[in-house]
Amino acid sequence: MPTLPSSLRAAKESISINIRAKVRQRDLIDQAAEKLGRSRSDFMLDVSCRAAEDVLLDRAYFTVDARTFAKFQALLDQPLPPTAELRRLMNARAPWEVDAPPEQ
């Protein structure tokens, strides 16, 4: 039976990642994972990988010509018109802020 190169073998192997968390943090993660029907580990790994990708993508460097940049900047400088949905969103509390006990 042919053997896989070490780089491919390593990609298929599972490893353990250990972290410490406060009880409140663990409970928050468990609550979110449960809402998605996922295990704590699956949820944490998926969210961590997405955050890691965001960090790496945010560090990507690209260039545009002056005219394109001016259009982009003009769009950023124009605030969205206020709507009932936007007002409701801005006034809503995050689920983890509602009746949250003090940090342990």
The residue with greater pLDDT, 6 or 74, is 74
Given a cut of 60, whether residue 89 has pLDDT beyond it is yes
Contacts of 44 (CB under 8 A, 6+ apart): 29, 33
- Count Cβ neighbours within 10 Å for each residue of 45-84 and write b for 16 or more, e otherwise: eeeeeeeeeeeeeeeeeeeeeeeeeeeeeeeeeeeeeeee
Could you give the CA distance from residue 97 to residue 99 in angstroms, rounded to a whole number? 6
Given a cut of 90, whether residue 6 has pLDDT beyond it is no
> Where do we find the tokens 């950023």?
76
State residue 52's pLDDT score.
Answer: 95
* pLDDT tens-digit series, residues 12-65: 788 999 999 999 999 999 999 999 999 999 999 999 999 999 999 989 888 999
For the record, the structure tokens of 4 come out as 């896989």
